Amino acid sequence: MDFRTYIIFLLILGVCAVFSAYASRKVHSSYAAFGEVSNRSRLTGYDTAVRLLKRGGVHDVSVERVRGKLTDHYNPRKELVNLSESVYGESSIAAVAVAAHEIGHVMQKKKGYLPYKLRAALVPVANFGSRLALPLVLLGVLLDLFLVNANADVGFWVAMVGVALYGASTLFMLVTLPVELDASRRAKQMLLEENVLADDEIHGAEKVLRAAALTYVAALATSLVYFLRFLIWVLAMFGRRRRD
């Protein structure tokens, strides 16, 4: 990667960093604002999760409390919805919005939502790829060094497998975005249909969920930039070796 390309990469990465910081600040400010506003149904995050699970005909998923703030997540392997301390026992608009979002993921699994199934399938590939990508590229360089007299492209293709595995994490983030947006859409619909929030309260929930979605957009952009940098670096490295 030449100096000019490197500078461009740093500038783009800087933009991604600023956007990520903005998204993170937006999440916390939105949650802080609507975390202080009680919903008129007086349902807590736990109450909301249980009601929406029952409404969806789901009886094999448990709801538990976990430590931290905004550490909420659905664990499909354990069939467990974990709600953070700031959501589990709170009856704010923000709390029920976050709880409903996690139930949205439960419903995605129950209904066989395709992007959700694809993301679940990509989890082991992304984890595997993040560990093996760089070792494979280094192995490719060594193979290219020792097999250069045989005119073999083995090293290059081994390195490109490493790049592809590295790209699996970017693909995972790409698939994650529609999954998260759909979970939020389901959450808003369920909150209204089950009268957890009234029409004039749903705006607050939407602001919290939209802010959360921004963090996934930022993560995707950052992952894409790093993947392209990795790809360009490998292509440039092997290009120089071929010229030498």
Point out the residues that are catalytic.
102
For residues 71-104, b (16+ Cβ closer than 10 Å) or e, as one string? ebebeeeeeebbbbebbbebbbbbbbbbbbbbbb
Q: Which residue has the tokens 């949650």?
A: 31
> Which are the contacts of 131, defined by CB distance < 8 A and separation ≥ 6?
none
Q: Could you give the CA distance from residue 49 to residue 98 in angstroms, rounded to a whole number?
A: 9
Which residues have CB under 8 Å from 124's CB, separation 6+?
none
User: Is residue 115 within 8 Å of 182, Cβ to Cβ?
Assistant: yes
Residue 67's CB: how many other CB atoms inside 10 A?
A: 8
Distance from the first to the final alpha carbon of the chain: 16
3-state helix, strand, coil in the chain (%, to 5): 75, 5, 20
**C-alpha span between 206 and 187 (Å, rounded):** 9
